Structures are given as C-alpha cells and as structure tokens.
Structure 1
C-alpha cells in the first residue's frame, strides 16, 4: 500500500477528483515516492468519478523526475525494479483510469512532466507552457517518455524533441499533439472548469465508453474496431433504456 505523500494533494470535486503536484520549491520535480503516490491517487479515484483533474502548483507544471534519491548503481534488474517500474506504473494508471484524465499545464513540463501532459486524455495548456525532453543531455535515452508519447506525437517530431533537446512552446505542442488546447494564462482555470462542468453533466457510462474505445481501438483492426464501437454504444443505449 502506497503511503500518502504531502507533495501530492488530492481533493474531491463535484463529479471527480483533483490531483495537484505541490512541490513548488523544486519546480514540482517528482521523487520516486511522489511518482508512486501519484499513480496510487489516480487508481484511488472514486467509483462514481467522471474525471480526474491533474495540475501542478505554482509557475511550473512539472520539471521532470528529481534525480536526487535515485537508487544506487546496481544490476539492470535492480534499477528496473526500483526506478523504472514506478514510472511505468504511473503511465499505466493514467491509461487504465476508466475516466478521462484532464491535465492543466503552465510553465515548464520537462521530461516526465512532458510525458504526463501527453499521456493525459485531454490537456489544456497556458501560453506560458514549455515542453522538452532533456534526458540526452546526460546521455540517458528517454525511452520511457517516448513510450508514453509515441501514440500521440508524430515520430519525426518526437525524434527531434529527443535528439535536439530544445523546448517547444504551447502552440507547437498543440500542432504536434502533446496538448489539446492552448489558452491565455488567465483563461487556464475557467476553460478547464468549463470542460470539467461539461463532463459532470454527462453520464458516467458514456464517458467510460469513450475512454475504453480510445484506449483499445488503435490496437485493433478495422473490423474489430467497428465491432467494439458498436458493442460499447449498444451497451450505453441499453443502460438508458432500463
């Protein structure tokens, strides 16, 4: 059982759950305990939730993983268990969450932070948002971040982010698929609240069906994808008829 972490704040909202990364003094860099707590918070979303809202406190969304506290050099299996599996578990939590994860981002989203914004189902970015994958500066291949981003970002654009290591602004992130919408800084909260209000007004069955389909359909062939679409829609229509 993952222990609560004071740098990962949760708050019950009408219709959903808010999760805030709150380590402002370090630009919301994620330690390994924070990564585990964040994954657990997503998994612990109430059974009647219609959304999970993810944001960062302060000026930056998340400046990546904090290298302080990394496990000492050991075997590859030890490093995978101590360092890599918690990050993969977080990506799985976002994907497996039955309802959409809505991310609000301002300021820096670096490395793991950029991966989280891309892996979320809907991301609203302020014009101040900047995204980069700087891991290669230390000759570390950002393969985990790539695994979370590759279904949404064109391969050549993602390769340039990795090899070029140059930040991209919110507008370019929108064009490449890292975010869903770009707004002025003062619009970030009201635009996000409007989206959450729209989700509150919808049935959870319909919301879950959309998430299920978007998660599964890319792995299916055309016929299987259509069958799944039909089955999910029929299930929702049947629930409304009862």
Structure 2
C-alpha cells in the first residue's frame, strides 16, 4: 500500500519491505534536487518504521536511474550554487544509505548510469534484470563522479573502476555480476519476486544482528566518505568551474559531440 505521497517518488509498504520507486520515467528517473530530498525523506520513513525490515529501491518505467539531471546541473549559476547542491543536497543522502540501520536492496529494472549506478553501489545488495546496464559517463560531460571514485575501487576493484570511469562505457548485467556490483540477475517479470525471496531469507537473521552487521561492513566506507568529504567537494567544484564542463553539458543537451579544451 502507498504510505506517503511525493512528487517524484513512490513510497509503498509491502509486508516487511519498504519499496522506494524513483518516479520520473519521462526523464529516465534522473536525479534532480527534489528527488534527492524525497529519497532522503523516504529512507527516513523506512528507518523509523519498526515494521520494515528491509528497503528496496527501484525505478519506474524502463530505467532504474539515468543519473543526475543534466539540465539542472547546467542551470547552476555560481560556484556557491554548486557547492550547496553537493554539500547540502546530495552528500547527506549518500551518507543515509550507509548509516541507515536496515538493509537496502537495489532492484535494478534497467539502465543505471552516473548517480543511478552510484545508488547501486550505495545499496547493500542488488538484483538486476537481464538487460540492465551500468555506467559512470560523467567524464563525457566534464563532470567528476565523487561517489564512484570513493566506493567503486572498494566494491569492484581498482582496474575495473578505472575502466568504468576513464571510458564511460557501460557494463552489462553479466559483467556487473562477475565484478561484484550486483548479486543476482533475473528476468524483468521476476525482479520483485527475487527481492521478496531475498528478504524472506534475510528475515531468518535477527533484526539486531542485521543492524550490527550493516554498521560494521559499512564502517570503513562511512569513515572514508567523511575523511574525503572536503577533497571530493573541491574536485567537484574544479570540474564544475571548468570550460570542459560548460562545453560537455551544453553538448549533451544539444545532442552533439563536445570539443574539449582541457581546462
């Protein structure tokens, strides 16, 4: 049943699962400021609900999440705007994924690019459909991917991360499974059932044990995120102030190839 209404997100409870559905299908569920905030609010709802054991995040339509809303990024007017977006809007939500006491499962129903792929990394477990694609194409528009740069080497290894970030090319579900980005591949019609079955297995573990397990396995990631926060924001700002960023986002929106200047 639908528990709360949001503009760009659907929050539903089903037994012991809180389903969070990114709901901007016409934009391939691209993450704008409103959706980031609503995602944080939905995680808070699930965290506070004693009936919820696990949280599942999925997308409406044919995509899981296409990443950050490029039009919104391109509209940032000042360095202060960019700093506020990442420090006050995005960073706290990223941390919530890690410190939330309940297991979070990514139910990847299609492409997961940029911020969408990073959400998969932030989730504790991930089940994906056969045609799912995963990519970090931020470099192709002159953007620095702060979350992937921190978590991907830890999750999938340095060499795989380097290929993912340096090329921007997508990996398919089979490769994502092989490198450890996801746990399971299923057909589209079995995606939600696979999540339900996974949660049923998880319910054999005491809630207090699950909380302690999550806290411990994410401890290093939380500490690393905090330690690198200032450095990450500085790198994001360097990218957003560059001529390459302006050219990259303009080229993306105008559907043409960018002409890089290297500055």
From the superposition, tell whether residues 150 and 58 of structure 1 become closer, same or farther in structure 2 (CA, over 3 Å).
same
Give matches, 1:75-154, under 5 Å.
75=79, 77-154=80-157
| Alignment equivalent of 1:72, drawn from 68, 72, 76 | 76
C-alpha separation between the residues in 2 aligned to 1:218 and 1:79?
24
* Structure 2 gap segments, 5+ residues each: 224-263
Alignment-derived partner of residue 214 in structure 1:
217
Alignment-derived partner of residue 227 in structure 1:
none
Deviations 1:147-184 (A, max 9, x none): 24332121111111111111100011112221111123
The answer on 1:7 being equivalent to 2:8 is: yes
C-alpha separation between the residues in 1 aligned to 2:39 and 2:72?
17
Deviations 1:67-86 (A, max 9, x none): 223352313x4411124542
Higher helix share: 2
C-alpha separation between the residues in 2 aligned to 1:38 and 1:152?
23
* Structure 1 gap segments, 5+ residues each: 221-242
Superposition deviation, residue 187 in structure 1? 2.5
Superposition deviation, residue 25 in structure 1? 1.0
CA contact (8 A) 2:95 2:222 kept: no
Q: What secondary structure, in the 3-state scheme, does the structure 1 residue paired with 2:102 have?
A: coil
Q: TM-score, normalised by structure 1?
A: 0.82
CA contact (8 A) 1:14 1:200 kept: no
